Each structure stands twice: as C-alpha cells, then as structure tokens.
Amino acid sequence: MLSRQTAPSLRKFETPFYFYDINLLRQTLESITSVAKRYGFVIHYAVKANFDPRILSIIREYGLGADCASGNEVRCAIEAGFDPSGIMYAGVGKRDAELRYAIEQGIFAINCESLQEIQVVDSIAGALGKVQDIGLRVNPDIDPKTNKCIDTGQADSKFGISYEELVANLDVIKSLKNVRVAGIHLHIGSQIRELHVFEYLCVKVNSIVEHLGKLGLDFGFVDVGGGLGINYDVPENEPVPNFASVFSIIQSHLKVGGRPVHFEFGRAIVAQCGELITSVLFNKTTASGRRLVIVDASMTELIRPALYGAYHNIENITSTSEERKRYTIVGTACESTDVFDEGVTLPLTQRGDLLTIKSAGAYGMSMASRYNLHDLPSAVYSDEL
Ligand code: LLP
C-alpha cells in the first residue's frame, strides 16, 4: 500500500490514476493459492473485479482459473493467457453470440441461470456439433448480510434458478443431448464479512447435493461462488484477506462426497492492492458551512460510493500540516451523488495535495465510465516507480 514516502515519486504522473501495489497482489495470491492447495480447492478469479492486463497476467501466473460475466470477459481472459479449460462463464443474460463464442472456445463450464438458457445452450452447442458442460446456478435463498445492492442469493433475486423450478424441470434438462450437467453453482453476494454466512451456504449446498443425487442427477463440481469481503475501514489492518478462515469453514461444513470444490473470488484478490490517486483542485465552503474538497477524480473513475453508498478510506499523502479539519470530498462529475466521503478528518488539505482513495483495486477501474467525456484513468504499478 502507498506510504507517504512514496508520494513524491507519484508527482510525475497525471492524476487521477490507479496505483497498484504489485507486491501486495503477489502476497495475496501466494496466500490464497497456498491455503486452497491444502484443501484441494480450485480458485477462479472473477475478471469483472479488475481486468487490467498486467493484473490479469500476474493472477494467471499463480495458476488460477477465470470466472467471466460476458463473452468479452471470456475473450479477455483467453487473451491474457488463461486456459479455456479453467474458465467459467456465469451471468443472468447471455447473448447467443456470446454463448456461441464460449462454446467454440471449449471453456470449463457455462453456469446457467434459467431453464430457457439451458435450452438455448443446448441448441447452439448442437448446431456447433458439440456437447457443452454446464453448471446449474441454483438460487439458495440465503441472506448474505451485506449491502442490499450486492446481495444476489435471496429468493426474489434475478440470479439463479429456484430450486423448485430446477427439480420440476430436471427430466427436461436430463433429456437434452448437447449439454451435460457438470456441476452446480451458487453465489450469494459480495463483500461478505460475517463468515458464518458461509456455514449456512454449506448447509444449503449439502442438502441440494444430496437431494439432486436422490433424483438421479449425476454431476461433478460444486462451485460456491465468491463474495469474501475485505476491510475497507482500516485496510492496513488486513491487507491480505483471511482466506484461511473461509476455507476452513467450507472444509469443515461442506459435505459433497469428494466432488471438486470451486470458488470465484474477485474483490478479495484485488481490492487492497489498488488505490485511486487524485489531486485536490479546489476548496470551498457551502452556505451551511460544509467544507468541500473538490478533487480531480469522480464517480467516473470510482463509482462505488455514488452507486452503493460504499465507504473507502481516504488519506492525504502529501500534506505536512499539523492542523486537522473535517472535509467532504467531492468529485468533478455533474451528479450530486458524486461524493467520495462526508465528514472525513484530514490534515489541512489544499489545492495540489494528493489524496489516496484506498481499497479501490476491485470494481474501481472495471466500472469506470466516460460520463462527462472524462478520460479513462491510467494505471501505475509499484514496480515501475
Ligand atoms: N461469481 C459471481 C457469479 C459473481 O456475480 C461475482 C460478483 C463474483 C463471483 C465475485 O464476487 P466477489 O468475490 O468479488 O465478491 N460492483 C460491486 C460488486 C458486484 C459483484 C458482482 N458479482 C461492488 O463494487 O461492490
């Protein structure tokens, strides 16, 4: 993570930009791969969290598979060197051209989220003369105890197939000639910090696996998704997420009869290694006395605060003042929700100071937009300073 000592070497880059700590990324990858190996778990990286080519190529070096959410993500993963045989493709809506591309590439599995999707995959695979492995994404109806905007596994969510619908259509699915049910898939949400939620997930998975077995469905892998949360409040306290805890919970509670267990982590792998570096443009005070710091980044570089009310820790890395003040940090976009944080205490913060918005490596750059015709932010890597 960035320290004040590094700040002067950042002055030569035009702000705003993403700074990536490559050592921290490597430490995180070493941790996740070594703990996963202990249990024989298979890890896929959720490309949607960050598809920076340098980041992707480092992740690939550690032997992870990829979890993709679109045809373009599948293409991006393949171009970054991920082996198609380790690529999952999930998503509630997939266009025919995306499915055709994924099937042609021979990816590990397409995780399907509706009966109709399974039938479409069957017909496209048939037309290509192939049999495609699929995962059945089951909606487990679990509250992941996270921000409602990123909760995906409750009964009324748009994601996954309800268990009842799946069972009612099992014979239809089994009769299809060009798809093979290779596994089941569940993903209940993101930024999960209450790890006991993963115990509930295991209980649900165990009963689904047992029940589907009794109904005569023969399948291999069990993919329990991603979702492990990170410490946004004080990132320095937990630069590498606690993979050992979540893996040991899964190991002790999941009873799937020796089937391979897959995970798809995004945030936990890349969030802490990325920071958004921005310069202070102006200071002003509103009529009600709110002290504003206007920075040159905005929701177009990092939309999480504006979209989800998400918190990111912000630090002034260049001010040497002893004086402390409370500020509201706002971006340049023409949107009132474009506020990075309200009431943050910082040393005296003035035009030209550099601020870091921490824990921005996941769902930062990948969700950037060109609203107001802003340029997309560039990337600076710690080993290039
Ligand atoms: N697998 C599936 C099927 C997913 O939908 C997701 C994330 C993941 C894996 C990876 O989840 P993770 O390990 O990163 O929690 N933009 C939001 C997060 C959206 C997550 C979407 N799906 C944010 O900024 O918080």
Q: Residue 347, preceding bond cis, omega within 30 degrees?
A: no
Q: How many A from CA of 187 to the centre of ligand 1?
A: 9
Q: Would the pTM count as exceeding 0.95?
A: yes
- Whether the per-residue pLDDT at 261 is higher than 80: the answer is yes
C-alpha distances out from residue 318 to 7, 166, 289, 299, 328, Å: 7, 57, 25, 23, 18
For ligand 1, say whether the CB of 67 is within 6 Å of any of its atoms: yes
The atom of ligand 1 lying closest to the CA of 229 is: 15
- Whether the per-residue pLDDT at 381 is higher than 90: the answer is yes
Q: What is the mean pLDDT of residues 63-92?
A: 98
Measured distance CA(60)–CA(66) in Å, rounded? 9
Write down all domains in the chain, each with its CATH number in brackets. Answer: 7-17+273-384 (2.40.37.10), 22-270 (3.20.20.10)
Residue 256: per-residue pLDDT? 95
Residues 6+ apart with CB under 8 A from 226: 46, 67, 187, 190, 263, 264, 265, 266, 267, 268
Residue 73 near residue 51 (C-beta atoms within 8 A): yes
Provide the percentage of residues in the chain whose pLDDT is more than 70.
100
DSSP string for residues in 128-194: TT--EEEEEEEE------S-GGGB--STTSSSSEEHHHHHHTHHHHHH-SSEEEEEEE---BSSB--
Residue 149: per-residue pLDDT? 80
Measured distance CA(50)–CA(31) in Å, rounded? 19
Q: Is 228 helix (H, G, I), strand (E, B) or coil?
A: strand
Residue 309: per-residue pLDDT? 97
Closest Cα to atom 16, ligand 1: which residue?
Answer: 363
- Bridge-based pairing of strands 221-223 and 324-330 is unpaired
- Whether the per-residue pLDDT at 148 is higher than 90: the answer is no
Ligand 1 pocket test: pick from 139, 148, 267 the residue with the most ligand atoms within 8 Å of its Cβ: 267
- Whether the per-residue pLDDT at 144 is higher than 80: the answer is no
The total of other beta-carbon atoms located within 10 Å of residue 367's CB is: 17
- Whether the per-residue pLDDT at 323 is higher than 90: the answer is yes
Q: Give the pLDDT band (50/70/90) at residue 318.
A: very high
Measured in whole angstroms, how far is the alpha carbon of residue 68 from the centre of its chain?
10
Q: How high does pLDDT run on average in the chain? A: 96
Ligand 1 pocket test: pick from 186, 190, 231 the residue with the most ligand atoms within 8 Å of its Cβ: 190
The atom of ligand 1 lying closest to the CA of 91 is: 3
Residues 6+ apart with CB under 8 A from 246: 195, 198, 228
Provide the percentage of residues in the chain whose pLDDT is more than 90.
91
